[in-house]
Structure formats: C-alpha cells, structure tokens
Structure 1
Amino acid sequence: MRHYELYIFEEDVVRHYYGQESKLFYLFYDFEKANEPQKELIRKQIDFITKPIPTLLLQQKVKQALSSYSGYSQKKNTHLLQLQNGTKAELVIGANALYLTADGSQEVETMFFEILRKCEPTFFAYSFDGHRYGWLKPITPLVQSNHL
C-alpha cells in the first residue's frame, strides 16, 4: 500500500526551490520525526509556504472526472476508486492537505494525480515510503513565465 500527502505551494516558493525539491521533502520528513516543540515551529514554516486547499473546487473536479466509473464513490470529503483489476485508491481532501492511499497498480493513483494537476499548477506530492516526492505538474513553464 502506498501513502501520499499533497500540498499546494506558494508560487514564489516553487520558483525559489525549483530543482531543490528534496529540501521541501525533508521539511515534511523532519516534521514527522520532530518532538512537540520542534513540530510547532516546523508546522508554522509549512503553513507559511503552502496554500489552503480549494476543497470545494477539488471535490467538484474529482467527482466530475470519476463519476462515469462504476467503481467510484464519494462520502463527504473522501473519494474512492476501485478498478476492475482490483487496484484501488482513496483520496481524502482536507483543508491544508490531501491524503492519497493506493493499493495495486499505479494506474489508479496516476488517475487522481492527473485530475489534481489540472486544477492547480503547484501541487507537491510526497511519500515517506521510498522517499518519493515531486511536482504533479512540471514547473518549468511556471518558472520561465516569471522570468520574462
């Protein structure tokens, strides 16, 4: 089973940390491992560089994109998708982050990622399992457009 957390970053942070995504990953990693006083400080840093999740917009976009699948269901802020091959994923949309859990092939998590990347250009996903992290949408155009 794979677990991901997704955040939307402020555009100036994206430009500044372009090519240094590991620093962002380790900020979340340090938060996870920190003791309580450290957690509070790191949480403030995370809140400063990330944006609130546009929950209503994402709820609508995910539902619209997946409602034609027989294995799709929604309960409040949780979206479930199970494919015929047994692959399944659950996306929980929170106020500050999204949480994706997937089991089986990577096809189903890719489906969720594709929907999300069309909604917001600065989504960053990470998984502590295997130290996987990255932008859902390539940010080169975002960086280049701000240098013109």
Structure 2
Amino acid sequence: MRTYQLYLIDDEFASHYFGKERMVYQLFKDYKEAVGEYKKILEKQIDFILKPIQEIKIHQFISQYLQKNKDFYTNNGLYYLEIGKRSTAKLEIHERCLMLKANGNYEAETIFFEVLRKTESSFIAIDLEHQRCGWLKPIKERKFV
C-alpha cells in the first residue's frame, strides 16, 4: 500500500523550493521522527510554510470532476476510486493535509492527483514510507534573457 500525505505549501515557499523537494521531504521526515522541543520547533516551521486547505473547495472539485466516474463513490466523507481489482485509492480530507492511500497500479491515485492539481497550484505529495515526494503541479521556471 502506498500512503501519501498531501500538503498545500504557501506559494512563495513553493516557488522557492521548486527543484528542492527533498528539503521539504526531509522537514516532514524529521518532524515525524522528532521528539520533545525539536518536534515543536519543526511543527512551527511546517505551520509557517503551509497554506490552509479549503476543505469545501476540495469537496466541490472532487464531486464535480468525479461524480460521473463509475468507479468513484463516497462514504462517510471519504472518497474512493476502485478500478476493478487492479487499482484502488481512498482520499481523506483533513484541515492540514489530505491523506491518499492506494493499492495496485497507479491509475486510481493518478485520477485523484489530476483533480487536486486543478484546485491549487502548490500541493506536494509526500510518501514517507517509500521515501518519495513531488509537486502535483510542477511550477514552471521563468527564464530571464
């Protein structure tokens, strides 16, 4: 099973850390492993770079884009995609982050990622167990001549 935590990063920090995703990943990894005063310091740093998630906006986008998908359903505020037995995903919406759990191939989670990238431009997905992270909507770098 793959588990992703999706965070909405402040636009200024997102543009600064584009291409430096490992630093963001390391911050969240350190936070998970930290204890005591160090954990409190890391929590403040994380709070500083996060934008609040507009839960209603996310709910509206998911309903709008997936309601006609035969593999999509909702139950107790959770969203599910079950594409046969080959790909499943469950999305939970929380105040600070979204949790996406997926099994099988990447089809179901990719559908959720595609919808979420339309809602906000600075979502980052972090999979601590498999040591992966990345932006849902990569930021285009400006090239100055």
Q: TM-score, normalised by structure 2?
A: 0.92
Deviation at 1:92, TM superposition (A): 0.4
1:124 corresponds to 2:124: yes
The CA distance in 2 between the partners of 1:144 and 1:67, in whole Å, is 36
Aligned length: 144
After the TM superposition, which of the residue ranges 94-103 and 36-45 deviates more from structure 2?
36-45
Structure 1 gap segments, 5+ residues each = none
The CA distance in 1 between the partners of 2:99 and 2:5, in whole Å, is 5
For 1:51-70, what aligned pairs fall within 5 Å after superposition? 51-70=51-70
User: Is the helix fraction higher in 1 or 2?
Assistant: 1
Deviation at 1:40, TM superposition (A): 1.6
Give the ranges of 4+ consecutive aligned residues of structure 1 lying more than 4 Å apart after TM superposition. none
After the TM superposition, which of the residue ranges 116-125 and 32-41 deviates more from structure 2?
32-41
The CA distance in 1 between the partners of 2:86 and 2:29, in whole Å, is 31
Please list the CA deviations of residues 83-129 of structure 1 after superposition, one character each: whole Å capped at 9, or x if unmatched: 12442110001111000000111011000000000110001011012
Please list the CA deviations of residues 37-79 of structure 1 after superposition, one character each: whole Å capped at 9, or x if unmatched: 2222111111100101010010011112111223322234311
SS at match of 2:142: helix
SS at match of 1:129: coil
Percentage identity across paired residues of the two chains: 37
Deviation at 1:134, TM superposition (A): 0.7
SS at match of 2:24: helix
The CA distance in 1 between the partners of 2:76 and 2:44, in whole Å, is 28
For 1:2-41, what aligned pairs fall within 5 Å after superposition? 2-41=2-41
Q: Which residue of 2 aligns with 1:75?
A: 75
Q: 1:83 is matched by which residue type in structure 2?
A: I
Structure 2 gap segments, 5+ residues each = none
The CA distance in 2 between the partners of 1:101 and 1:77, in whole Å, is 15
The CA distance in 1 between the partners of 2:2 and 2:60, in whole Å, is 24
Q: Which residue of 1 aligns with 2:135?
A: 135
After the TM superposition, which of the residue ranges 25-34 and 59-68 deviates more from structure 2?
59-68
